[in-house]
């Protein structure tokens, strides 16, 4: 699970990163609201942990901008503002949960797990690689929150590849999917579709790789390790 911590107290931010990483989460941090909004728009996170009293742009305004931009990432507000009025304002602005400082780390993790259970159904309806997202219900691709339109053949190829990012898909399988019921098309045409798709993926945080003898795979551009899971027949 990917968590973004938006907290301007450097000691608390570092402590949260260390504690959450030890518990198996992938955590990044921002220290002001302006930068946080840029990061939230550019990268996909599962949960945002948000302090309300942050410089640049306060947490409530940041939260309102997120929801106005239709960014639905769950937000756990973690703040020293503990009055009923503050809680109501935070939840009305689009917060999904509210925890006051000082807090217990076990309670924080329990709330993170509760949010993750709540969004599990939402996650099952989408496929993600880098900044690229496929909404299964509509079949539409997005980069961040922007639509990513593709011609039918490139779209069919990408739908198959994003279903298992990091796994190789054979050219034969992709050919059958992309050129269904097109008997007069030469097999090499799949390479043309892959070439066009590769160029269009520039800037999406994903890379289309060619694997000799295996086929193609999609992976995140800055993946720490490249693991090939083998070709699908």
Span 23-68, pLDDT tens digits = 888 899 999 999 999 888 877 788 999 999 999 888 999 999 998 8
Does the structure show a pLDDT above 50 at 229?
A: no
Do 159 and 134 contact (CB within 8 A), yes or no?
yes
Give the predicted TM-score (pTM) of the model. 0.55
Q: How far apart are CA 195 and CA 111, in angstroms?
A: 45
Does 2.40.50.140 match the CATH number of domain 127-232? no
Q: What is the pLDDT of residue 123?
A: 54
pLDDT tens-digit profile of 103-145? 998 999 999 988 887 766 555 667 889 889 988 767 889 998 8
Q: How many helices (H) and strands (E) does the chain have?
A: 8, 13
At 213, phi and psi to the nearest 5?
80, -10
Q: How far apart are CA 158 and CA 131, in angstroms?
A: 14
Q: Where are the domains of the chain?
A: 2-124, 127-232
When the pLDDT of each residue in the chain is averaged and rounded to a whole number, the result is 86
State the DSSP H helix or E strand holding residue 122, giving kind and residue range, or none if neither: helix 105-124
Residues 157-177, mean pLDDT to the nearest whole number: 91
Does the structure show a pLDDT above 80 at 187?
A: yes
Q: Between vectors from CA 120 to CA 205 and to CA 79, what angle results, nearest 5°?
A: 85
Q: What is the pLDDT of residue 119?
A: 65
Q: Helix axis angle, 84-92 relative to 59-68, nearest 10°?
A: 30
Residue 204 neighbours by CB under 8 Å, 6+ apart:
130, 131, 132, 143, 148
Q: What is the pLDDT of residue 72?
A: 82
Token pair recorded at residue 18: 């260390």
Residue 73 neighbours by CB under 8 Å, 6+ apart:
40, 44, 45, 46, 47, 48, 66
Distances (CA, A) of 221 to 8, 87, 129, 190, 204: 29, 39, 9, 22, 8
Q: What is the pLDDT of residue 121?
A: 56
- Name which CATH class applies to 2-124: alpha beta
């Amino acid at each position: 699970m990917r968590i973004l911590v938006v907290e301007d107290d450097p000691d608390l931010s570092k402590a949260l990163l260390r504690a959450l990483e030890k518990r198996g989460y992938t955590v990044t941090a921002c220290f002001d609201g302006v930068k946080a909004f840029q990061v939230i728009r550019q990268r996909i996170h599962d949960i945002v942990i948000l302090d309300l009293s942050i410089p640049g742009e306060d947490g409530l305004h940041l939260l309102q901008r997120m929801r106005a931009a239709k960014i639905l990432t769950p937000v756990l507000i973690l703040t020293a503002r503990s009055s009923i009025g503050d809680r109501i304002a935070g939840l009305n602005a689009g917060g999904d949960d509210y925890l006051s400082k000082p807090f217990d780390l076990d309670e924080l993790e329990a709330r993170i797990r509760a949010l993750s259970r709540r969004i599990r159904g939402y996650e099952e309806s989408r496929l993600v690689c880098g900044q690229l997202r496929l909404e299964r219900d509509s079949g539409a691709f997005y980069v961040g929150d922007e639509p990513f339109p593709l011609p039918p053949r490139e779209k069919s190829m990408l739908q198959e590849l994003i279903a298992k990012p990091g796994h190789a898909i054979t050219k034969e399988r992709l050919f059958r999917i992309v050129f269904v019921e097109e008997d007069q098309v030469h097999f090499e045409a799949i390479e043309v579709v892959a070439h066009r798709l590769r160029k269009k993926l520039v800037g999406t945080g994903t890379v289309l790789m060619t694997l000799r003898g295996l086929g193609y795979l999609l992976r995140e551009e800055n993946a720490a390790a490249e693991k090939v899971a083998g070709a699908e027949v």
